[in-house]
Structures are given as C-alpha cells and as structure tokens.
Amino acid sequence: MLLEEINMEEFTEHLKRCKTIIFPFGTVEEHGRHLPLFTDTLIANEVLKRVIQQRDVFLAPPLHYGVCTTTRQHPGTIGIMPETLRTLTKDLVTDSYKKGLRNFMLISGHGGGIHMSAIREVAEILIDELEDIQIAVFSPYDILHQELSQLCETPGDSHAGELETSIVMALRPELVKGTSEEGYPLLPKPFIVKDKIKYWPSGIWGNPQKASTEKGKAAINIVVEKIVSLIDRFDSTGI
C-alpha cells in the first residue's frame, strides 16, 4: 500500500491489519555518464513496489537524499550530512510509531558505509527507546552480496557497474543513456584525500558494458524474494 496515495480513513483501516512500514532510502548521486542521478532511489523504490504486490504492507515515499562521500565532488551529486540523515530517520520512525506502526524496514538503495552507519545508529537507539518494535536496516547489496555477485561477470562490481546498470535497464531502460567504460576508484587508502575526482574521474566501479536486462530482472527477483521473507519474519514469531 503506497502511503502517499491513501487517505486517513484508509490508513486507519489498514493499520488494523498491518503494523509494518517500509522506508526506502536513496540518493541524488552521480552514477557515471550512463545512469541517472537518482539510480539508488529508483532501484529501491521500484523494487519495493514489487514487494508490496506480494505483501500488503505500508510503503512510504522514498527519501531521495543520502550521505555521499567518495562521490560528493562529482557533478550532480547533492548529499546531506550524517547528522541530518540520523535526524530524519529518527523523526520518521518515531512519528510512525506514534501513529500505531510497530515493524520498520529501513531499506537503502545506497550502500555507502557512513550512510548505512547513520541509519543503523538510529535503529540501535530506537530499539531501546520504543516499546514493542521490530526494526531492520539493510542495503540489498550487503545482505545479498554473494547471490547478486554470482550474476556478474565483473569481479568486485559495485557503483554504476554491471549490476546497477542491469537493474536500471530492467526497470527503466529509457533512462540508460548508452554505456560507460570499465572503471575503478584508485583512492590511496588509508589516506583521506580532498580531491576525490583526481582518483576516480569516471565515477564507475565495475564494467557497465557487461550489463543486460536479463541480469537486471534476475537481480530484482532475488531482492524481492529476500525482502518478502523478511516481512514474513515480522509477521511470524518475531525476531
């Protein structure tokens, strides 16, 4: 059930049968020359629309902005600070709790380390503060890394590479503008550098030229199946 499309009476009625809400998190972030800036948001939101066709839970509108670190200097990236994301996440969950919801899935199409840590920090606080809640925080790329990696021909594929390009091809092919050459960041770890673009001009981590619609459809099916199974754990004996 799309939260933004129902009225307050419909919300109240559905709440009698369902206490679960999913919050999609995305970004406005460069994804090479071939993918749109809202790739992370697009993937999360469209995959979750398929999930609610199988399980009638509340799906909130996506949060379009996230914490971008390595890509923050690239053209088009517009990010927020970790403290902003923590505040937004806490407010969203806390106010939903006040409205009667008890099961929360915070699912991010962006897998950045600081971004995910900010969301998880809030979840750790709220699990102690709010009575009778269940909360899950994850990016599909983390919990399904092995399964999704098996779809790729590119070792270590990641940002705007083979997998993400394949998924966008399957979801919104008209938004894929050609392709980009294989590329990888060459950041001199463990050093933190000011000029990110110097070490990663392409903004590509992988080989988008290996992408295909078939791989994208397979990835979507894997992610949908996993999320549905996690919703069922909410509705069974608990965690």
DSSP one-letter string for 33-83 = TTB-TTHHHHHHHHHHHHHTTTS--EEPPPB-----STTTTSTT-B---HH
In this structure, are residues 23 and 107 in contact, taking their beta carbons and an 8 Å threshold? Answer: yes
The reported pTM is 0.95
Confidence of residue 228 (pLDDT cuts 50, 70, 90): very high
Average pLDDT taken over every residue of the chain: 96
pLDDT digits (tens, 9 = 90+) for 37-50: 999 999 999 999 99
In this structure, are residues 109 and 148 in contact, taking their beta carbons and an 8 Å threshold? Answer: no
pLDDT digits (tens, 9 = 90+) for 87-135: 999 999 999 999 999 999 999 999 999 999 999 999 999 999 999 999 9
Confidence of residue 180 (pLDDT cuts 50, 70, 90): very high
Confidence of residue 239 (pLDDT cuts 50, 70, 90): low
Non-local CB neighbours of 72 within 8 Å, separated by 6+ positions: 79, 196
Q: Give which of 163, 210, 219, 152 is closest to 182, Cα–Cα.
A: 210
Ordered structural domains, the chain, with CATH: 3-235 (3.40.50.10310)
Q: Three-state DSSP class for 144? A: coil
pLDDT at 235: 72
Overall average pLDDT of the 25-40 stretch: 98
pLDDT digits (tens, 9 = 90+) for 58-71: 999 999 999 999 99
Q: Give which of 142, 94, 103 is closest to 232, Cα–Cα.
A: 103
pLDDT at 106: 98
Residue 238 above 60 pLDDT? no
Judged by average pLDDT, the poorest of 157-166, 176-185, 229-238 is: 229-238
Cβ–Cβ contacts within 10 Å for residue 78, how many? 13
In this structure, are residues 108 and 116 in contact, taking their beta carbons and an 8 Å threshold? Answer: yes
